[in-house]
Structure 1
Amino acid sequence: MFSPLAHDDPHSLGPYRLIARLGGGGMGTVYLARSATGRTAALKTMHARIATDPASRTRLRLETDAARVIGPVHGARVFDADPHAETPWLATEYVLGPPLDDAVALTGPLPEPTVRALGTLLCAALAQLHASEVVHRDLKPSNIMVTADGPKVIDLGIARAIGDDRLTRTGTAAGTPAFMSPEQATGQEHTSAGDVFALAGVLTYAAAGHGPFGTGQHADLMYRVRHAEPDLTGVPAALVPVLIACLGKDPATRPTTTELADRLNGGQRDFSAGLPEPLLLEIARRAGSVWHARTHRLPAPVHHALAETVPVGEPTSPSTLSRRKLLKFGGSSAFAAAAVGAGAWAWLGRREGSPPDDSGAKSPEKPAWDLVWQAETSYTDPRVPPAPLVLDGLLLVGEHGVQGLDPVTGEAKWPDPEVYFMRRTATDGKKLYAADHTLDEAGPLTVATVDPATGKIDAPFGEIKDLRAALHETQLLCATREAVFLAAGRGPDTDSGFHKDQTWFLLAVDTRTGKELWRVPLPARPHGSERLHFLSARAVGEYLVLVQQSADGEPRLAVHDAQTGKALWNRPLDGEQSPFSRAHLAVDDRYVYPSAGELVALGLADGREAWRFEGRTPGALFSPATVDDGVVYAVEEGRGMVALDAASGTERWAEKNRVVTAEDLDTPPVVGIAHVYSKGASGLMASDMRTGAVSRPFKAAKARYFAHVSAKRLIAIGDEYTAAYPLA
Structure 2
Amino acid sequence: MFFPLTHDDPSRFGGYRPVARLGGGGMGTVYLARAADGQTVALKTMHARLAADPVFRSRFRLETDAARIIGPVHGARVFDADPAADIPWLATEYVLGPGLDQAVSAHGAFPEPTVRALGALLCAALVQLHRSDVVHRDLKPSNIMLTVDGPKVIDFGIARADGDDHLTRAGAAAGTPAFMSPEQATGQEHTASGDVFALAGLLTYAATGRGPFGAGQPADLLYRVRYAEPDLTGVPPALVPVLARALGKAPADRPSAADLAAWLEPPGGSFSEHLPGTVLTDIARRAAAVFAEMPRRTAPDDGEGFPDTVVRTAARPSRRGVLAAGGASLLALAGTGAWAWHDRQRPGGAGGSTGQGTPAADLLWQVPSDSGSGRDLPSAPLMLEDRILVALESLMAQALDPRTGRFLWSDEDVFLFHQMTTDGKRVYAVGYSLEDDAPYVVRAVDPATGKAGATVARLTDLRGRLFESQLLCATDTVLLGVGGAGRPSTDGFRKDQSWFLFALDPRTGDRLWTRALPTRPDGSERLHFLSGRVEGDHLVLVRQAEDGGLSLTVHEARTGTPLWDTPLDGDGPALDRAAVAVDAQHVYLAADGLVARRLADGVVAWHHEGDRPGTVHGPPAVKDGVVHAAAKGQGLVAVRAGTGRTVWAQTGRADMEADAPPTVGTAYVYGESATGLAAADLRTGAVAQPLKAARGRYFAHGPSGRLIARGEAYTAGYPLL
What is the TM-score with the length of structure 2 in the denominator? 0.60
Instruction: Give yes or no for the alignment of 1:377 onto 2:370.
Output: yes
Alignment partner for residue 94 of structure 2, among 115, 119, 129? Answer: 119
| Alpha-carbon distance, 1:262 to partner | 7.2
Q: Distance in 2 between matches of 1:126 and 1:105?
A: 33
From 384, 388, 395, the counterpart of 2:388:
395
Moved more, 119-128 or 497-506: 119-128
1:559 correspondence with 2:554: yes
C-alpha contact (below 8 Å) 2:662/2:670 kept by paired residues:
yes
Instruction: Please say if residues 421 and 428 of structure 2, whose CA atoms lie closer than 8 Å, have aligned partners that are also in contact.
Output: yes
1:493-533 CA distance string (max 9 Å, x none)? 00131001100011101111101110011011111111100
Does the 8 Å contact 1:386/1:717 carry over to 2?
yes
CA distance in 2, matches of 1:106, 1:209: 21
Residue of 136, 142, 150 corresponding to 1:138? 142
The question of 1:627 aligning with 2:606 is answered no
Question: CA offset at residue 583 of structure 1?
Answer: 1.2
> Residues 526-605 of structure 1 correspond to what in structure 2 (within 5 A)?
526-596=521-591, 598-605=593-600
Candidates 257, 267, 273, aligned match of 2:322: 267
SS at 1:168's partner residue?
Answer: coil
Superposed, 1:428-447 pairs within 5 Å as: 428-447=423-442
Map 1:107-506; keep pairs closer than 5 Å: 118-119=93-94, 121=96, 132=117, 137-139=141-143, 143-144=154-155, 159-160=202-203, 162-164=206-208, 167-172=211-216, 214=303, 230-231=306-307, 240-241=310-311, 267=322, 269=324, 368-379=361-372, 381-398=374-391, 399-416=394-411, 418-506=413-501
Instruction: Rate the CA distance shift 1:696–1:586 in 2: closer, same or farther, 3 A.
Output: same
- Judging changes above 3 Å, is the alpha-carbon distance between structure 1 residues 422 and 380 closer, same or farther for their aligned structure 2 residues? closer
Rounded to whole Å, the distance in 2 between the matches of 1:380 and 1:649 is 36
Q: CA deviation at 1:75?
A: 3.1
1:557-598 CA-partner distances (Å, limit 9, x unpaired) = 111111111111111100122101011120001110124453
SS of the residue 1:423 aligns to:
helix
Matched, 1:73 2:72: yes
User: Over aligned residues, Cα RMSD in angstroms?
Assistant: 4.9
Deviations 1:334-369 (A, max 9, x none): xxxxxxxxxxxxxxxxxxxxxxxxxxxx99967744
- In the alignment, which residue of structure 2 is the partner of 1:647? 642
- What is the CA-CA distance between 1:432 and the residue it aligns to? 1.1
Whole-Å separation in 1 of the counterparts to 2:88 and 2:356: 27
**What per-residue deviation string (whole Å, max 9, x for no partner) do you get for residues 301-327 of structure 1?**
xxxxxxxxxxxxxxxxxxxxxxxxxxx
User: What CA deviation, in whole Å up to 9, does each residue of 1:9-68 have, x standing for no partner?
Assistant: xxxxxxxxxxxxx999xxxx9998xxxxxxx9969xxxxxxxxxxxxxxxxxxxxxxx99
Q: Indicate yes or no: 2:502 matched with 1:507.
A: yes
Q: Counterpart amino acid of 1:372?
A: W
1:718 and 1:660 map into 2 onto residues whose CA distance is: 20
Q: Distance in 2 between matches of 1:162 and 1:260?
A: 34
The answer to whether the 8 A contact 1:104-1:209 is kept is: no
Aligned mates of 2:318, 2:645 — CA distance in 1: 49
Is 1:671 aligned to 2:664, yes or no?
A: yes
Structure 2 letter corresponding to 1:106? I
The 8 Å contact of residues 428 and 444 in structure 2, kept in 1 or not, is answered as yes
Given residue 512 of structure 1, which amino acid in structure 2 is its aligned partner? R
* Residues 645 and 210 (structure 1), Cα distance of their counterparts in 2 relative to 1, 3 Å cut: farther
Distance verdict in 2 for CA 1:596–1:261, change over 3 Å: farther
State how 1:32-51 maps to structure 2 within 5 Å.
none
SS of match in other structure, 1:623? coil
CA distance, structure 2, for counterparts of residue 195 and residue 263 of structure 1: 21
Q: Which amino acid aligns with 1:269?
A: A
Which structure has the higher relative contact order (CA within 8 Å, separation 6+)?
A: 1
Distance verdict in 2 for CA 1:171–1:159, change over 3 Å: closer
Quickly say closer, same or farther: Cα 1:632–1:145, change in 2 above 3 A. Answer: farther
- Structure 2 vs 1, CA of residues 595 and 426 (structure 1 numbering), >3 Å: closer, same or farther? farther
Q: Tell me what 2:245 maps to.
A: none
Q: Indicate whether 1:723 and 2:716 are aligned.
A: yes
| CA distance 1:491–1:241, change in 2 (3 Å) | farther
Structure 2 counterpart of 1:708: 701
- Is residue 689 of structure 1 aligned with residue 682 of structure 2? yes
In the aligned structure 2, how far is the partner of 1:364 from the partner of 1:489? Answer: 52
Alpha-carbon distance, 1:600 to partner: 0.5
Q: Is the 8 A contact 1:213 1:231 kept in 2?
A: no
Cα shift at 1:666: 0.3
Distance in 1 separating the partners of 2:651 and 2:97: 33
Q: In structure 1, what is the Cα distance between the partners aligned to 2:299 and 2:555? A: 68
Q: Return closer, same or farther for 1:458/1:682 CA change in 2, 3 Å cut-off.
A: same
Structure 2 contact 396–410 (Cα < 8 Å) conserved = no
CA–CA distance in structure 2, aligned partners of residues 543 and 75 of structure 1: 43
CA distance in 1, matches of 2:215, 2:99: 30
Distance 2:102 2:668 in 1: 29
C-alpha distance in 2 between matches for 1:171 and 1:724: 41
Number of residue pairs matched? 502
Q: Quote the residue 1:699 is aligned against.
A: 692
Shift of 1:685: 1.3
1:522 counterpart (517, 521, 528): 517
1:240 Cα deviation (Å)?
Answer: 3.9
- Decide whether the 8 Å contact of 2:436 with 2:465 is kept in 1: yes
Deviation at 1:683, TM superposition (A): 0.9
Quote the offset at 1:267 in angstroms.
Answer: 3.5
CA distance in 2 between counterparts of 1:586 and 1:578 reads: 17
Task: State the shift of 1:424 in Å.
Answer: 0.5
User: In the TM superposition, what is the alpha-carbon distance from 1:441 to its structure 2 partner?
Assistant: 2.4
Query: Does the 8 A contact of 1:479 with 1:485 survive in 2?
Result: yes
* 8 Å CA contact retained: 1:121, 1:368: no
How far the C-alpha of 1:385 sits from its partner, in A, is 1.5
Residue 177 of structure 2 corresponds to none
Q: Look up the SS of the partner of 1:710 in the other structure.
A: helix
Contact 2:359 2:690 in 1 (8 A): no
Distance 1:31 1:507, change over 3 A: farther
Contact 2:477 2:505 in 1 (8 A): yes
Secondary structure at the counterpart of residue 661 of structure 2 = coil
**Comparing 643-652 with 414-423, which one deviates more in the overlay?**
414-423
Aligned partner of residue 724 in structure 1, secondary structure = strand
Q: Which runs of 5+ in 1 are unaligned?
A: 1-21, 33-39, 44-66, 78-92, 147-153, 175-187, 216-223, 225-229, 233-238, 246-258, 273-361
